[in-house]
Amino acid sequence: MEILNKIHFRNLQGDLFGGVTAAIVSLPLALAFGVASGAGPVAGLYGAVCVGLFAALFGGTPTLISEPTGPMTVVMTAIVSSLTASNPENGLAMAFTVVMLAGVFQIFFGLFRLGKYVTLMPYSVISGFMSGIGVILIILQIAPFLGQKAPKGGVWGTISNLPTLLANINPAAAILAALTLAIIFLMPRKWKRYAPPQLVALVIGTIVSLVAFPGANIERIGEIPMGLPTLQMPTFTPGQLTIMLVDGVMLGMLGCIDTLLTAVIADSLTRTEHNSNKELIGQGIGNLVSGLCGGLPGAGATMGTVVNIQTGAKSALSGVTRALILLIVVLGAANLTRDIPMAVLAGIALKVGIDILDWSFLQRSHKVSLKGSLIMYGVLLLTVFVDLIVAVGVGVFIANILTIERLSELQSQEVKAISDTDDSIVLNETEKQLLDRANGRVLLFYLSGPMIFGVSKAIARTHNAIKDIDTLILDLSDVPLLGVTATLEVENMIKDAVDKGRTVYVVGAAGKVLRRLQKFGILDQIPADHLMTDRTDALKRAVADLPSNSMAIS
């Protein structure tokens, strides 16, 4: 595996222009997410620099732009809130330790090649989860949008204090926030080619606040410390270590999902294929360094990535350029941001929350699948009002149960017991004649397709329906997978037949299926020569061995 990402200078102009444009897009978002998280605007800038730089250097998607994102910020907000509430002195440092843990977990995911499994979950769950995060981000911006301090308690605190927030609205701040949204939504498309609407809204909103509301009580960012960050050493208390580990896994998993979904979008735009495991290692290194520097966690950002590609970027040089430009801002130009109103940043973050909502699926999910729609809305509500981990866990569990039920129903149709010639399975002429001669005394038990645990009931039901026969032929020729539960049911069927003095033949077992039967010792119950590869040969032997009084009279 190559250590560094694909960096070359064959597309220097496109990569540099892409990096500059992505930096311009990232700046207002980094400030907005830093404020929204509770860690401060400088944490957003440090996160944008650290995650962006190291993910670009060590990742596996050349054109991916990594930075603090809406979903990661929502989770970080909850982590900062809970840890600072339980430990006011060290809570913020502990939150940055969680970011480091998330990075370590992401590195492990990449090293153990788990990248291909990260996004292996139903879309209804991903959609509900992401839309729920969008709703949370929107709700958390209500207080600063109205020019007030965010109440304690997160989503529930904001909702319960909504009448108070509306009664004490700050008109100047609300006007600035509304102006910000109006600029972002209404800015003509042709103008967006020259400047991102978020940056335009940030500049205009700040200027308007200084000119139109010079004496108004508007909360602003204030002084941001310039220079290199102070390293944050891992901080934790033994009693909260378990909670921090769980938060780290959750943050790391969310970052993996967010990143790999964005990487797929990058692939579709560039007609390339990313290296998911290498990308996770790069993201992990970025988040580990970001936590050490007191920065927000980050992931692949769709908006920045698309802008980067559309402006001509083709290698990771664009991501490095973007990070270095933002580093210059942190080192020497951060004081230029001190007059930015919090309401303007709230408007920018609120628009991000609106964009996170999966409008396409929300509008048509009920038309596509009622069950999928219920899962999606259930995950959305659990994400907003209960817990992110609970939402994903419950959603994946229910979705998988419903999927297994459906697959089991389909596979159960491939469990067939045949004692005479019919159209249930395709038989050649010789096999049809042999079954006719057997006169119902030979039963062909045919299984087809993967035998997952949900099919075991169908095997048992068909087995229990078997009446008087002399010979059982178990045909596994078309079974690529035999699960443990189905294997045990096959064992019961063979054992029952042997106990009743019936002759048993097993046909077509090969590869993993054969090894599974051998490991369970099932084949020890029948003679070695009764394990056969051809169904016709098994039928010939079965008919030849039938007692003469059970043969059909020709």
Is residue 360 within 8 A of residue 71, CB to CB? The reply is no
pLDDT at 553: 38
Residue position matching structure tokens 């050649």: 428
**Distance between CA atoms of residues 99 and 79, nearest Å:** 10
CA distance to 74, 79, 154, 181, per residue, from 251 (Å): 10, 9, 18, 29
Question: Which residue is listed with tokens 């430009």?
Answer: 325
The predicted model scores a pTM of 0.78
Query: Hunting for tokens 């095997």 — which residue is that?
Result: 459
Measure the CA–CA gap between 392 and 125, rounded to whole angstroms. Answer: 7
- Of 512, 495, 492, 414, the closest CA to residue 455 belongs to 414
Cα distance between residue 302 and residue 299, in whole Å: 9
CB 41 within 8 A of CB 295: no
Regions in the chain scoring below 70 on pLDDT? 1-3, 5-6, 119, 334, 420-425, 548-554
Tokens of 371: 């069950």
Question: How far is it, in rounded angstroms, from Cα 329 to Cα 112?
Answer: 37
CB atoms within 10 A of CB 554: 5
Nearest to 457 by CA among 500, 504, 407: 407
Specify the domain boundaries for CATH 3.30.750.24 within the chain. Answer: 413-550
DSSP string, 54-97: HHHHH-S-TT--EE--HHHHHHHHHHHHHHHHH-TTTHHHHHHH
**Residue 334's pLDDT is what?**
66
**3-class SS of residue 473:** strand
Kindly report the backbone phi and psi dihedral angles of residue 505, in degrees, each rounded to the nearest multiple of 5, phi listed first. Answer: -120, 140
- In tens, the pLDDT along 154-169 reads 888 999 999 999 999 9
| pLDDT at res. 358 | 87
Q: Point out which residues pair with 531 in neighbouring strands.
A: 506
- Check: CB of residue 47 under 8 Å from CB of residue 318: no
pLDDT by residue (tens digit) across 507-527?
999 999 999 999 999 999 999
Residue 258 CA to residue 260 CA, distance in Å, equals 6
Distance CA 298, CA 127 (A): 20
What per-residue confidence (pLDDT) applies to 549?
A: 47
Cα(291)–Cα(46) distance, integer angstroms: 9
- Please give the sequence-ordered ranges of beta strands (E in DSSP) within 302-397, or none if there are none: none
pLDDT at residue 144, rounded to an integer: 92
Q: How far apart are CA 289 and CA 286, in angstroms?
A: 5
Contact 40, 49 (CB under 8 A): no
> Which residue from 231, 225, 330, 331 is spatially nearest to 289, judged by alpha carbons?
231
| Measured distance CA(92)–CA(112) in Å, rounded | 31
Q: Which CATH class is domain 413-550?
A: alpha beta
Contact between residue 35 and residue 50 where contact means Cβ atoms under 8 Å apart: no
Q: Are the beta carbons of 30 and 45 closer than 8 angstroms?
A: yes
| Tally of CA atoms within 13 A in the half-sphere of 496 that contains its CB | 15
